[in-house]
Amino acid sequence: FSERLAQLIWKDAVKSKDEVGALDFDPLYDAQDFDIKKFSLRKSKSEKDSAEVIASFENMGHKTEITFSLVLTKTGWKISDIKYADGRHLVGLLSGK
């Protein structure tokens, strides 16, 4: 994860103290339970230091698409945000926006 997203995830984990925080699901699959099938990736947008990749898959019989926003860092490409089909995005969930 990008430094900013990693910090938001860490703050949520620390703040929730053994309770469920903003992340009550697996953010990579947008689900609490998963049985992933028919997984594919495609590039949506690409620039010098940022990109978007769309993951398509079936989870427990439901078709899902999730958009991963990536940034290029000194150590390689990192996930900077995850956008879900219903309009939510991970940075917004973790920052209360």
Q: Which domain holds residue 86?
A: 3-16+23-95
Residue predicted with more confidence, 28 or 97: 28
Assign residue 51 the CATH number of its domain: 3.10.450
pLDDT digits (tens, 9 = 90+) for 43-66: 999 999 999 999 999 999 999 999
- Edge-to-edge strand ranges of the sheet holding 62-73: 36-46, 50-59, 62-73, 76-83
* Beta carbons within 8 Å of 48's beta carbon, 6+ residues apart: 72
Instruction: For residue range 26-39, list pLDDT tens digits in order.
Output: 999 999 999 999 99
Compute the distance between CA of residue 37 and CA of residue 7 in angstroms, rounded to an integer. Answer: 31
Q: Is the pTM of this model over 0.85?
A: yes
Instruction: Please tell me the total count of domains within the chain.
Output: 1
